[in-house]
Amino acid sequence: MENEEIIAKINNFFVEDFEADETSIVPEANMRKTLDLDSLDFVDLVVVIESNFGFKVKPEDFTNIVSFQDFYDYVIANSKQVENQA
């Protein structure tokens, strides 16, 4: 999957599943604040990632993710690993 495709997919579930305003999703913005995520939302985020990108998420993975860009980078890196293993 190309990087642009991954980012589009991520943004799509933020809009569809998390009902985020599309215009608020900019790479440098703080993801947690922009989407008003609480601890329960992270459960749903894990499910969405595992369902869409096929890799297992550990709760501690989220510790270093601040911006949307951090999140894109995290998903892209792990997706590539899955592809390479396939």
CB of 83 to other proteins, least distance (A): 21
d(CA 86, CA 17): 28
86 binds other proteins (CB under 8 A): no
d(CA 81, CA 25): 26
Separation of alpha carbons 1 and 46, rounded Å: 19
Smallest Cα–Cα separation from 7: which of 38, 41, 31? 31
21 binds other proteins (CB under 8 A): no
Q: Name residue, tokens 């799509």.
A: 12
The yes or no reply on residue 83 touching other proteins (CB under 8 A) is: no
Question: Which 27-46 positions form the footprint of other proteins (CB under 8 A)?
Answer: 38, 40-41, 43-44, 46
Is residue 22 at the binding interface for other proteins, with CB under 8 A as the rule? no
Residue entry with tokens 């579930």: 13
Asked if 26 touches other proteins (CB under 8 A), the answer is no
Q: Which residues bind other proteins (CB under 8 A)?
A: 18-19, 38, 40-41, 43-44, 46-47, 50-51
